[in-house]
Structures are given as structure tokens and as C-alpha cells.
Amino acid sequence: MSMPTLADARAELARLADPAKAQVLERLFKTGKGQYGEGDVFIGVTVPQSRRVAMKCTSVTLEDVKGLLYSKIHEERLVALLILVQKSKADPESVARFYINNISQVNNWDLVDLSAPLILGAYLEGRDRSILYQLAASGKLWERRIAIIATQHFIRKGDFADTLKISEMLLGDSHDLMHKAVGWMLREVGKRDLAAEEEFLQRHRKKMPRTALRYAIERFPEEKRRAYMAQS
């Protein structure tokens, strides 16, 4: 039996395409003129379907992955990243380097969220993390999101320092997607160490965007949530 190829992955995605779902996804991922996903092309394949395609194609070369990653079709880029997640288990350094070198193609929030912790975050465990601070200072929305979302891997290991530092860097971000990302990661910290989250919130709640604060306190009791929102 021949090994799966780039053409096989594309053919499988084309077979699964659903135009009605594509229209829904285009609205969800804001592909209209002037929106953050302007020009992104969807064919209507779900994430579980994309995972199954990726799992069949983990043996393709990085060059083949690059071909998918530079596709105009969103689901092809997603499959490329899901393949990279699998490949990173065997060769985290090469895959992380490839990810950083081609970071411009990780260019919508689902692509970031499904790849950054498992590829970049996992690789940086126990290593120098200055790249995350460079990305957090970037003028590019998706690079900033990668910086904070990658720290989810550290949070899962009980390491919150970089999440809190990068969250502080991003408090003044102008984009709602970043407010949501920061609030989400702070909430993840709070699941493991509520005191650490609340210490951050007490210091920064007055200057935090309300969306970030709302996401951060989502799991708090209602009375406490109301008190935080009233103080912001």
C-alpha cells in the first residue's frame, strides 16, 4: 500500500466538503471585507473530520505539509497544522522551527488555538521562552495570540509565570480576540491556582478590557463576578 500524499489529503478534504457548512464557517471566522479573516476560504469540513484526515497523513514530509500550509483553503491549513502536532511528538525541535519559520500561515484563531500549545508551548517547556515575548510584542494579531495561547501548555504543568507576564503585556491590546484569549488563559490559571489568578486580577482589573475580565471570571460564583465587573 502506498503512503498517503499531499494529493490524498486534498482529495479527502474535497470529498468531505459541504457548501452549506462553508457558509456558516465563513461567517463564524469573519471572512468579510475588513474583518480579521478577510479572504479566508472555507469548504465546509469540520474539525473532527480534519483530524481524521490528518491522522491518515502523518507520514507525509514537511515539504508536503508546507504545501498544505500555504493553501488558500482554511481546512487544508488546519490539516497541515494537525499533522505537525502529530509529527512534533517524534521531533519537537524540527517541527517547532518549521512552525516559527512559517508562522504567517497560522492565521486564524482556531489554527492558533489547536497548534500553539501543542507545538510551540510543548517545545519550549524547559527551554528559553524569549520567542513568546517577541511574538507578544508583534504588530500581527495572530502572532500575539500564539504568544499567549502557547502558554496553555505551561499552565497544564502548573507553571503560570509566562502566562501572567504575557497577559500583562497584552492588557492594552486593541483587538477583542486578544481580550478573549488573555481572559481565557487567566481562567485556565484560576482552575489550578485561584489565588494566582485573583492576585493578578486585583492588580489589573481597573485597566483590563471588560471582555478579558469577563472571560477570566467566568467560573466565579455569580456574586463575585458581579463585584469584579462593578469594580472594573
At 3 the pLDDT is 64
Domain membership of residue 212 as a residue range: 126-232
Q: Domain check: are 58 and 156 in the same one?
A: no
Q: Domain check: are 189 and 154 in the same one?
A: yes
The domain boundary, picked from 70, 92, 124, lies at: 124
- What is the residue-level pLDDT of the chain in tens, covering all 232 positions? 466 788 899 999 999 999 999 999 999 999 999 999 999 999 999 999 999 999 999 999 999 999 999 999 999 999 999 999 999 999 999 999 999 999 999 999 999 999 999 999 999 999 999 999 999 999 999 999 999 999 999 999 999 999 999 999 999 999 999 999 999 999 999 999 999 999 999 999 889 999 999 999 999 999 999 999 997 7
Note whether 157 and 125 are within 8 A (CB). Answer: yes
Q: Domain check: are 133 and 112 in the same one?
A: no
Domain count, the chain: 2
At 109 the pLDDT is 97
Q: Domain check: are 38 and 97 in the same one?
A: yes
At 231 the pLDDT is 79
Q: Domain check: are 192 and 98 in the same one?
A: no
The domain boundary, picked from 75, 93, 124, lies at: 124
At 2 the pLDDT is 60
Q: Which long-range CB contacts under 8 A does 204-207 form with residues at least 24 apart?
A: 204/168, 204/171, 205/231, 205/232, 206/231, 206/232, 207/171, 207/172
Q: Domain check: are 230 and 152 in the same one?
A: yes
Q: Domain check: are 112 and 144 in the same one?
A: no
Q: What is the CATH number of the domain that holds 136?
A: 1.25.10.90
Q: How many helices (H) and strands (E) does the chain have?
A: 17, 0
